Structure 1
Amino acid sequence: MTQIFLTGATGYIGGEVLHALQHAHPDYEVAALIRDKEKASKVLAAFPTVRVVLADLDNVDIIEEESRKANIVIHAASNKHIASVKAIANGLAGRQNAHYIQVTGASVLAGPEVDNNSYGEPSDQIIDDLDNAADLRDIIRAYKDRRVVDNYILDLGSSGPKTAIIFPPIIFGIGKGPVKQRSVQVPSLARATLLQRVSLYLGRGLSRWGIVHVSELADLFVKLAENAVNATPSPIWNENGLFFAEKGFEVGSWPNVSQLIHADPFSFFQSFKDVASVIAKEAHSLGYIDSPDSVKSMNLEESNVVIPNGSVFLGTNGQGRASRAKKLLGWQPDGESFQNAVRETIIAEAAQL
C-alpha cells in the first residue's frame, strides 16, 4: 500500500494536491500534517480516509517519524522551513526507494533583479528545465543564502531518497482544497483593482513569469507520485528532479491583449502589464471599473502594499520552461483558461469587500 505523508493540506497548494490525490488514487493512504484542530475537522469532513497528524513544522520528531513511515513525502507547507526539511531527510535517510517532493517557486530566477534592485524590466533569460538543467542547478548554487532548502535537497545526492523540486510560476484559479482556496498574486492584484478602480503593474510592467492553474499544478504532483509508485525509469529525480510548471498559451488565447511570443511556439510568458490588462478588461466587463484600459504603473512601495514582497512577486522575471514534466511525465496543463479564472477571482474578491 502506498503511504504518502503530506504537509500543507490546509493551504492553497497542499489542499489542491490532497484533492487531486484523493480523486486520482483513493487507494493511496495519506497522512496529513495539520496544526489546527478546527482545520483538521474540515479536512476530515472532505476526505474522511485521511489520517491527521496533529502537529506543526516545528515538531521535527513527529515529522521525522511520519516520513519514516511513508513511501512518498510531499512538503507543500513551506519552502523556507529548513528544520522540517532536515527532519524529512532524516526520516527518509538511506531509503533509495523512497521519494521526496518539495515545492518552492519560480522566484529562483529572480536573483539578478533583486541584486540590482531593478524591477518591472524585461529579461531575455529563459531556462528550460530539461535542456538547461545544469544552468538551473548553477543558479540555485549561486544563491545558497536565499535558496537554502533547494540547496539542501540537492546536497542529499543519490544516497538517500529520490527527490524532486517543483518551481511554480504565477498560480491562478480557485482551489478545491478543504480550507484555503485563494492564491496570492492574481487575487491581490484583483483586490487592488477593485479598491483603486484601476489595474496595477510594477514599474514598466515588462517583467514576465509563466502561469499555471492550481489544478494543473496539483496534477504534476500526482504524475510524480505515480512515477514513484510505478518505479518508472526516467531522469526525473535527484539532480534531474527540477521542475518548472508553466502551462504555456495557445496563440490567440488572449484576444485584444499583446502577446509576447518566444522561439518555442507552444510556450509563452506574459508580462505583468499584460496580466494587469486582463484584470482591467474583466473588471470592466463586470462593471467594477470605468474603462477596460484602466491600467497604471505603481512603485516599489505601492507594490509591497498590494502584496507582501511585491517587488519580487510582481516585478521580477520567472521564465522557466516546463519541458521535463511535459516530455517525460506526459503532463498536459490544459485546464481552465487564465481569463476565465481572472473573472472568477474578481467576483470572489468583490464578495469579500
Structure 2
Amino acid sequence: MTDEPTASHVVLTGGTGYIGRAVLAHLLTSGHRVTAIVRSQASAQVVDEAGATPLVGDLFDSAWLAEQLRGADALVHTAAGSDADDARLNDAVIAAALEAFAGTEKPFVHTGGIWTYGANSAITEDSPADPPAITAWRVAGEEKVLTSGLRASVVRPGIVYGHGGGIAAMALVGAPRDAEGRRVLVGSGEQHWTTVHVEDLADLYVRVLEQAPGGQAYLGVAGASPTVRELGEALGPVVAGSGLEAVERFGAPFAEALLLDQQAVGNRGAELGWTPSHPTLVELLAAGYPADR
C-alpha cells in the first residue's frame, strides 16, 4: 500500500450519475485534476460547472478510451449503460483500462455491487458470489480486473442513499399506498438492505484510488443493514407487500435483487482509514429524506 497519493490526472466515467457526481466532488476536493468522459454537451456543461474537464466520447469504443487513458494517471469507472448494455459497456471500459495501464502502476478503480453476493446474512469481501440474474454479468468482469496483475481494484457499494436520491427515494419514499394511506413495502419487508451514504461511498473511492495496492475488492457498506420494514416505518405507517407485487412494480430482475436478504460488514475499507460518518438511512428517512443531507 502506498503512503502518499500517486494520481493527479484522473479520468472519471459516470460523472453526472448519482455515485459519480459525489466521486467527482471528492476527487476535486482531494486535489486531483479530473477529466470526466460524458455522452453529451449537456452533460459536459454539468461536469464543467462542477470543476472537471469534460470530454465527450463513446465508452463503448474501447480503442478510443484506451488512447485517452494513456495520457492520464488513473481511471475511476462509475458509469452504467442502460439495462442490456451494462455488460457491454463494462467489458469495453475494462479492456481499455487493462490495455492502457499494462506495465504501469496507474490505479484503476472499477465499480461492482453488493447484489453480486446474493442472499447472505454475513457478507464480507471474501464471501462467494451468488448473484441474481440482474448482476450475474458482473462476476466475469470483476474477476478480470482483480486478476489483471495491475493496480486495479473493485468497489462494491451497498444500497446507496443520501441527498434525497437513490433506491430509497424510488422504492420507499415513492412507494404506492394502500386504501388506508400506508406505504406498501417491497415484499414482506423482513429482508435486510445493507446501506451506505453516497458521500461516505465517494470518500471510499478516493481512498481506494490513492492507497489500494490492487487485486482486491472493497465493500462500500457503512455497517448498517436495516430491514425494509424498519426503513418504511421511519417514514410512517406501512403494510407488507408481496413478491408478486414487487415484480409488478419493478420487473422481475430488479425485484429479485430488492428482495434479497443481505447484511454486510466491510473490513478492507478500514485498512485505508475509511470511517463512514453520515447519518443512517433510517435517520434520514425519519427526517423526511431531505435533499441537503
SS in 1 for 2:34: strand
- The farther-off stretch of 30-39 and 85-94 is 85-94
- The farther-off stretch of 100-109 and 156-165 is 156-165
Structure-2 residue corresponding to 1:127: 123
Task: Map 1:227-306 to 2 at 5 A.
Answer: 227=211, 237-238=214-215, 241-248=216-223, 268-280=224-236, 294-306=237-249
* One of 152, 169, 173 as aligned partner of 2:158: 169
Structure-2 residue corresponding to 1:89: 98
Structure-2 residue corresponding to 1:261: none
Question: Are residues 194 and 342 of structure 1, via their aligned partners in 2, closer, same or farther at CA, if it must alter by over 3 Å?
Answer: farther
Name which one, 1 or 2, has greater alpha-carbon Rg: 1
Task: Map 1:76-155 to 2 at 5 A.
Answer: 76-78=78-80, 80=87, 81=89, 82-95=91-104, 97-110=105-118, 125-129=121-125, 133=126, 136=127, 138-139=128-129, 146-155=135-144
RMSD: 2.8
Structure-2 residue corresponding to 1:253: none
* CA–CA distance in structure 1, aligned partners of residues 274 and 257 of structure 2: 25
Counterpart AA for 2:122: I
Counterpart AA for 1:199: R
- Residue 150 (structure 1) shift: 3.7
Q: Work out whether residues 185 and 314 of structure 1, in 8 Å CA contact, stay in contact via their aligned partners in 2.
A: no
Counterpart AA for 2:24: L
* CA–CA distance in structure 2, aligned partners of residues 55 and 339 of structure 1: 39
Question: Are residues 9 and 195 of structure 1, via their aligned partners in 2, closer, same or farther at CA, if it must alter by over 3 Å?
Answer: farther
* CA–CA distance in structure 1, aligned partners of residues 100 and 256 of structure 2: 33
SS in 1 for 2:275: coil
- Provide Cα deviations, 1:184-215, integer angstroms capped at 9, x if missing partner: 24443211257973223233322212111100
- Residue 164 (structure 1) shift: 1.2
- Give aligned-pair identity as a percent: 22
Q: Work out whether residues 187 and 346 of structure 1, in 8 Å CA contact, stay in contact via their aligned partners in 2.
A: no
Task: Map 1:178-193 to 2 at 5 A.
Answer: 182-193=165-176
* CA–CA distance in structure 1, aligned partners of residues 172 and 250 of structure 2: 8
* CA–CA distance in structure 1, aligned partners of residues 122 and 29 of structure 2: 34
Residue segments in structure 2 that go unaligned for 5+ positions in a row: 1-6, 81-85
Give the TM-score taking structure 1 as reference length.
0.70
* CA–CA distance in structure 2, aligned partners of residues 194 and 21 of structure 1: 40
- Residue 145 (structure 1) shift: 10
Give the aligned length.
Answer: 276
Matched, 1:35 2:39: yes
Q: Work out whether residues 112 and 142 of structure 2, in 8 Å CA contact, stay in contact via their aligned partners in 1.
A: no
Residue segments in structure 1 that go unaligned for 5+ positions in a row: 113-122, 175-180, 229-235, 249-267, 281-293, 349-353
Question: Are residues 194 and 21 of structure 1, via their aligned partners in 2, closer, same or farther at CA, if it must alter by over 3 Å?
Answer: farther
Question: Are residues 220 and 273 of structure 1, via their aligned partners in 2, closer, same or farther at CA, if it must alter by over 3 Å?
Answer: same
Question: Are residues 88 and 301 of structure 1, via their aligned partners in 2, closer, same or farther at CA, if it must alter by over 3 Å?
Answer: farther
Question: Are residues 195 and 227 of structure 1, via their aligned partners in 2, closer, same or farther at CA, if it must alter by over 3 Å?
Answer: farther
* CA–CA distance in structure 1, aligned partners of residues 266 and 279 of structure 2: 18
- Residue 12 (structure 1) shift: 0.4
* One of 4, 9, 15 as aligned partner of 2:15: 9
Q: Work out whether residues 173 and 345 of structure 1, in 8 Å CA contact, stay in contact via their aligned partners in 2.
A: no
* CA–CA distance in structure 1, aligned partners of residues 116 and 146 of structure 2: 20
Question: Are residues 61 and 187 of structure 1, via their aligned partners in 2, closer, same or farther at CA, if it must alter by over 3 Å?
Answer: same
Matched, 1:323 2:279: no
Structure-1 residue corresponding to 2:4: none
SS in 2 for 1:334: coil
SS in 2 for 1:10: coil
Question: Are residues 145 and 173 of structure 1, via their aligned partners in 2, closer, same or farther at CA, if it must alter by over 3 Å?
Answer: closer
- Residue 299 (structure 1) shift: 2.4
